[in-house]
Structure 1
């Protein structure tokens, strides 16, 4: 069975050029070509294609908005963005909308066919410089390296009780120690975390995920 593909591109020359390349391949079947996202979305309600080649700068609804709506309706459809836009914002928004690939124009015929096959097979075809941008973008959202504050097991226990809102007396009862001992643990926790209050300690513990998962 050939891979079914739809083209959404408002530039007629580019759309027809893409159509010509795809029709030359026996492994691909073009099931629709559209000038705008609205007509495309109306047409794919009941029989969506395997892969969509989507421009971003469309009249009316943008390709990114169309991708988001398409993925909401048909999560299994693979969307490859074909665009002249290379800025971080468009790349990031396209990936977040659900696009599996991002190829910058102009596209060589062999690259286009390879991208369609890769998307259908579950890969993420991207122009090399776009792939680098994606890595750079997502590095910005990487969690900070975990800091070792050298909290003892007992201090972690006390800190966990603090996150549950327990006071010193209740913590002492649960740990079978005196409130004075708990207070000493709390002082050590404050010193090691470089905080000055219970609320600061709890906030830091939750933000930096200092407590072991259960």
Structure 2
């Protein structure tokens, strides 16, 4: 059973090269090649392929928008993005739009054919460079809440402040001087990025 493929790329040489490669591969069948997203959106739904090789940067409708629209009409189609650039934003936006794989255009012919078969089988082929970017992105520590940066003393201070105690009462309850309470005020305001007692309490209670 041949895998039906369509190509969407505004670069004529790239389109021709991909078309020739697919025609020479017995397990693949070329259904069409299109020079922009607008033509692809008109033609592809008439004869849906299994896999679309999609350029990202095209004049008019870009590849990411074309993927989004195609997936809305033909949910089963698998889209393999092809790009010249190792661009993290384009990678993430393509995947969010519904693309299943993402390769650099300089990928070898054998790797490209392997990726077409892989994406058709349910895989998510990706260039090693881009896979590393994806891993690095999800390996980054997530944003930490400013409240979690507070010391135990600062937390106790805010707890008492939220109950309506004035600074002198807080000093007595915590067994510290009023100067230390004022120090807590400065550090808490700085850590929570607030400018008033009310702001500090609200941010603390909302965690």
TM-score, normalised with respect to structure 2: 0.69
Match of 2:33 in 1: 33
Residues 10-42 of structure 1 deviation map (CA, whole Å, 9 limit, x = unaligned): 111111111111111111111010000100111
Instruction: Count how many residue pairs are aligned between Structure 1 and Structure 2.
Output: 169
Q: Does 1:203 align with 2:206?
A: yes
Match of 1:98 in 2: 98
Residues 102-140 of structure 1 deviation map (CA, whole Å, 9 limit, x = unaligned): 110123111111000000011111110010111222334
Unpaired stretches in structure 1, ≥5 consecutive residues: 148-193, 205-214
How far apart, CA to CA, are the structure 2 residues paired with 1:14 and 1:141? 39
Q: Does 1:73 align with 2:76?
A: no
Match of 1:120 in 2: 120
Unpaired stretches in structure 2, ≥5 consecutive residues: 149-187
1:85 counterpart SS class: coil
Q: Which structure features the higher share of helix residues?
A: 2
How far apart, CA to CA, are the structure 2 residues paired with 1:24 and 1:32? 15
Match of 2:86 in 1: 86
2:68 counterpart SS class: helix
Structure-to-structure mapping, 1:181-192, within 5 angstroms: none
Is the contact made by 1:92 and 1:137 (CA closer than 8 Å) also made in structure 2?
no
How far apart, CA to CA, are the structure 2 residues paired with 1:202 and 1:23? 64
How far apart, CA to CA, are the structure 1 residues paired with 2:17 and 2:88? 27
TM-score, normalised with respect to structure 1: 0.67
How far apart, CA to CA, are the structure 1 residues paired with 2:144 and 2:49? 41
Q: In the superposition, relative to structure 1, how do residues 141 and 61 fare at CA in structure 2: closer, same or farther (>3 Å)?
A: farther
How far apart, CA to CA, are the structure 1 residues paired with 2:117 and 2:144? 37
Residues 153-182 of structure 1 deviation map (CA, whole Å, 9 limit, x = unaligned): xxxxxxxxxxxxxxxxxxxxxxxxxxxxxx
Q: In the superposition, relative to structure 1, how do residues 122 and 144 fare at CA in structure 2: closer, same or farther (>3 Å)?
A: farther
Q: Does 1:108 align with 2:111?
A: no
2:130 counterpart SS class: helix
RMSD of equivalent CA atoms? 3.3
